[in-house]
């Protein structure tokens, strides 16, 4: 089963985040929003986003 439109994945650990019912940590990198399940994961992602952004 695929993810629902309002579900995002933490780029650090892959945890699914329900962005409608949870107040996730979010950052904007080059015009795209990225969500994280924990503040420490967001800090790690923001240090080196290229390491975690999946190639499209």
Provide the whole-model pTM.
Answer: 0.77
- Compute φ and ψ for 32, nearest 5 degrees: -115, 135
Residue 1: pLDDT above 60? no
Percentage of the chain with pLDDT > 90? Answer: 66
């Amino acid at each position: 089963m695929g993810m629902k439109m309002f579900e995002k994945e933490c780029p650090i650990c892959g945890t699914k985040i329900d962005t409608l019912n949870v107040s996730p940590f979010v950052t904007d990198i080059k015009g795209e929003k990225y969500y994280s399940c924990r503040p420490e994961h967001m800090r790690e992602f923001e240090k080196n986003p290229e390491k975690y952004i999946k190639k499209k």
